[in-house]
Structure 1
Amino acid sequence: MRVTTGGVAESEEAAEAAGEGDFEAFYRANADRVYRALAVTLRRDDLAGEAMAEAMARAYTRWPAVRELDNPAGWVFRVGLNWATSWWRKVRRERAPGSDDDVAGPPGVAEDAVVAEQCLARLPRPQRAVVVCRILLDLSTAETAAALGISEGTVKSRLSRALADLRRALRVEE
């Protein structure tokens, strides 16, 4: 039992339940956003769903430490991206070369959005991850650097190159 400053006893279970409620609120507020960011970065909705679920499960098991981070959603995104990268490596080792399937744009999406998604999909994954963090997740340069484990200068240069490539690609596609 813990005793609060007011002298009221509080059980360990109540304290844990409050932490779980805190995680539930975090999950509700961020799960869809992290999923969308992973789906854009990975170009596979099914893999993004699995990566998000795995990352959220890891966040839940480490919630006391994760909630203290400056950007828990960025941490979840990075864990999901790392998990998906490991999954891809495993699949590549097990599959015959050349058997990767291209993922088409989602049905019913406006043609401009499909073109933009295809141009984004052509970016190298490190550049695509920076674009997703900075634009889709609206993270700052520092938060993006922390989430991806790179320097702020690398974030800036990757974003600059990615946006220049996207501008060129979108002009050609028009």
Structure 2
Amino acid sequence: MSMPEPPFSEFYGAHFQRIALQLYAYLGDHAEAQDLAQEAFCRALEQWPRISRYADPAGWVRRVAWNLATSRLRRLRTALGFLARQREQHVDGPTPDRVALVAALGTLPAAQRRALVLHHLGGLGVAEIAEQEGVAEGTVRSWLTRGRAKVKSQLTAEVRHV
């Protein structure tokens, strides 16, 4: 006898904000993060009878959302490169603190950056990140340690130059 599937609305209510927040921290665009989280949940809804039986349905949605975000960043980089070659644009810059943090995060390999965002802003544990990324927990701990050290050294160097 199979267990009844939990209502999708409860699942959505319990997990949407957390996943959207993680994507926002990764992408830096609140509306885009919400759109991608919504897309991931729509894909889950289409297959809810099957996905609801997974040990971690939220992990499935999170993985789909992160894949969508990664694809979005690739497309955005390509589009921005094209636009940059077409014309020069002038906009007000972000605050110095934000520039320093974004620059520091930008120096990290993508895996370390994802691990830091998922752990510190997404609230995921090492085991959850390892499962999502398909790596050993020791690898995630290494990414976190190295990522923190590099961000710290970048920000410390920035403060010394001020």
Query: 2:20, 2:126 → 1: CA distance?
Result: 20
Residue number in structure 1 paired with 2:51: 66
Residue number in structure 2 paired with 1:35: 20
- CA separation of 1:115 and 1:97: change in aligned 2, threshold 3 A: closer
- CA separation of 1:155 and 1:65: change in aligned 2, threshold 3 A: farther
* Contact map agreement 2:101 2:155 (CA 8 A) in 1: no
What is the CA distance between 1:40 and its match in structure 2?
1.0
> 2:54 corresponds to which letter in structure 1?
L
- Calculate percent identity across the aligned residue pairs: 35
What is the CA distance between 1:97 and its match in structure 2?
4.4
- CA separation of 1:172 and 1:156: change in aligned 2, threshold 3 A: same
How high is the TM-score relative to the length of structure 2?
0.72
> 1:47 corresponds to which letter in structure 2?
E
Residue 84 of structure 2 aligns to a residue whose secondary structure is coil
Structure 1 alignment gaps of length 5 or more: 1-14
* Contact map agreement 1:34 1:77 (CA 8 A) in 2: yes
* Contact map agreement 1:131 1:159 (CA 8 A) in 2: yes
Residue 99 of structure 1 aligns to a residue whose secondary structure is helix
* Contact map agreement 1:66 1:72 (CA 8 A) in 2: yes
Query: 1:98, 1:85 → 2: CA distance?
Result: 20
What is the CA distance between 1:64 and its match in structure 2?
3.0
Query: 1:64, 1:141 → 2: CA distance?
Result: 29
1:127 and 2:117 correspond = no
Residue number in structure 2 paired with 1:89: 74
- CA separation of 1:63 and 1:171: change in aligned 2, threshold 3 A: same
Q: Cα RMSD over matched residues?
A: 3.2
* Contact map agreement 1:74 1:144 (CA 8 A) in 2: no
Query: 2:108, 2:19 → 1: CA distance?
Result: 20
What is the CA distance between 1:50 and its match in structure 2?
2.1
Structure 2 alignment gaps of length 5 or more: none
What is the CA distance between 1:68 and its match in structure 2?
3.3
Query: 2:121, 2:27 → 1: CA distance?
Result: 14
How high is the TM-score relative to the length of structure 1?
0.68
- CA separation of 1:72 and 1:137: change in aligned 2, threshold 3 A: farther
Residue number in structure 2 paired with 1:3: none
1:154 and 2:139 correspond = yes
